[in-house]
Amino acid sequence: MAMFKLSVVWTVLSVLQIVPAGAYRSAVRDQTFRETPQASESKAETESEALPPPTVEEWIENLDLNNAQARADAAAELGKLGKKAAAAVPRLTELLSQPGVGVAAVKALGEMGGAAKDSVASIVAKMPGCQSMDCPYMVAAATSLGKIGKADPEAVLPAMEKALTADKWNIRWLAATVCGDLGEKFAAKSPLPKPDLPEVLQYLNKNQADVKLYVLERLGEMGGAAKDSVASIVAKMPGCQSMDCPYMVAAATSLGKIGKADPEAVLPAMEKALTADKWNIRWLAATVCGHLAEKSLDVVPQLRRACKYDSDSDVKKAAQESLRLIDEANVESPSS
């Protein structure tokens, strides 16, 4: 009987020992499972922070991967390194025509500045057949060539001067845009020759809208020397249907510049144009009178009539704005 009691007591003690031990092991195991992912992530982050960034050579190797996105990403990373990644210029130049990669490649070349000067001809030559002004490659190429040109004008300007006479409109647009970005560098390195008026005017007959806009800009720059172009500028006005017609705006600006240099060459034509049949010619005349400000005092009666009685609301607004500009200029310069 005593042995039986001892056995029972021993069994109870064993159970009491096993249960806490099992519970402890279970708690430790659960805690381990909960902490392990966090610990692993922390360890991975620490190791990642300790690793050096990819080298230029690694990114250049990635330019040869089969995945287009990987190549584009590599180009973008090389661009961030700027001139330090100059060794990538030849390979980036080869990628300019690759779909999905070309835009990233041309952007990267721009970030390298003068170090990418040998890519200029290829950037122009790889221009795709863009159909509109929102072509990503066109915009990126213009920006990049501008950056390269600011660092090394001689590497860019000769190519742009040649591109201004290219057959493709988008290459001419590219060249004109880059020259504008370079500003004084363009003027200093490639001064424009004094244009011959008859030669310039013949380009108003071209069908390309961008050519006409360029001609109008040049005529405006000529000032009074372009006084014989006034009638042609008005006569070549296309049948614009809205206020966002580029020719209308460019023509008004150019005539304003010519008129400021030689009012008598412009104002009589504008006074006549205020009664034209086409609304856009009347709008042009009213707007130019505003550009000339106090020089248009003699046309104020016609502008007042247009402001009140013209059949087109845009012409009325233009006449009203011109009257305001003339009035302000006359108050500021009463002796004029």
Q: Which of 133, 160, 189 is the last residue of a domain?
A: 189
pLDDT in tens, 212-230: 888 888 888 888 888 999 9
Distance CA 78, CA 59 (A): 7
Q: Could you list the residue range(s) of the whole structural domain that residue 171 is in? A: 56-189
Candidates 51, 52, 60; CA nearest to 78 is 60
- The residue from 137, 155, 189 where one domain ends is 189
The number of distinct structural domains making up the chain is 2
Higher pLDDT pick, 311 / 16: 311
Whether residues 159 and 206 share a domain: the answer is no
Instruction: Give the CATH number of the domain where residue 172 resides.
Output: 1.25.10.10
Q: Are 79 and 184 contained in the same domain?
A: yes
Does residue 44 lie within any of the structural domains?
Answer: no
Evaluated on CA atoms 263, 268, 270, 271, the torsion sign reads positive
Q: Torsion-angle region of residue 93: left (phi > 0), alpha (psi -120 to 50) or beta? A: alpha
Last residue of a domain, one of 189, 206, 224: 189
Q: What is the pLDDT of residues 171-189, one digit of tens each?
A: 888 888 888 777 765 555 5
**Complete DSSP assignment for 289-336:** HHHHGGGGGGGHHHHHHHHHH-S-HHHHHHHHHHHHHHHHHHHH-TT-
Give the mean model confidence (pLDDT) for residues 274-289.
Answer: 93
Q: Is there a single domain that holds both residue 217 and residue 115?
A: no
Tell whether 38 is covered by a domain: no
> Residue 324 above 70 pLDDT?
yes
Instruction: Report the distance separating Cα 231 and Cα 269, nearest Å.
Output: 7
Q: Are residues 148 and 246 in the same domain?
A: no
Lowest-confidence region among 26-35, 55-64, 165-174, 280-289:
26-35
Q: Is residue 216 part of a domain?
A: yes
Q: Does residue 93 belong to any structural domain of this protein?
A: yes
